[in-house]
Amino acid sequence: MASHASRDPSVFGIDVWNRKIFARRILGVPDADAEVITRRMNELFRGHAGTAALYLVEHEYLATPVAPLLAPASISAWNQALEATTS
């Protein structure tokens, strides 16, 4: 959100949750100091660390949602209901 709020694709915020995501994804460790993560993100994604950070966090939650919106068994019924309303 920091990169979008400032309209600067190089800016990103680090909190306790995304710090652990970044540490796992870019350093291969369970947690790391925010300065180490920031330095590595800027090395890997020069000028676009904020955009990369957004994708890393989104990918984490898509792969392992905190609270799935629908039970897997309900997805088909949901899609059929949506299709019925648009036809």
How do residues 25-60 score in pLDDT, each as one tens digit? 999 999 999 999 999 999 999 999 998 998 898 888
How do residues 67-80 score in pLDDT, each as one tens digit? 666 676 777 777 77
Terminal Cα-to-Cα distance of the chain (whole angstroms)? 36
Q: Which carries the bigger pLDDT value, residue 87 or residue 40? A: 40
Segments forming the whole domain that contains residue 75: 2-86
Whole-model pTM: value is: 0.66
Say how many domains are in the chain. 1
How do residues 2-20 score in pLDDT, each as one tens digit? 555 667 888 888 999 899 9
Position 57, amino acid: V
Which pLDDT value is given to residue 5? 62
Question: 52: buried, middle or exposed (CB in 10 Å: 19+, 13-18, 0-12)?
Answer: buried
Which pLDDT value is given to residue 40? 97
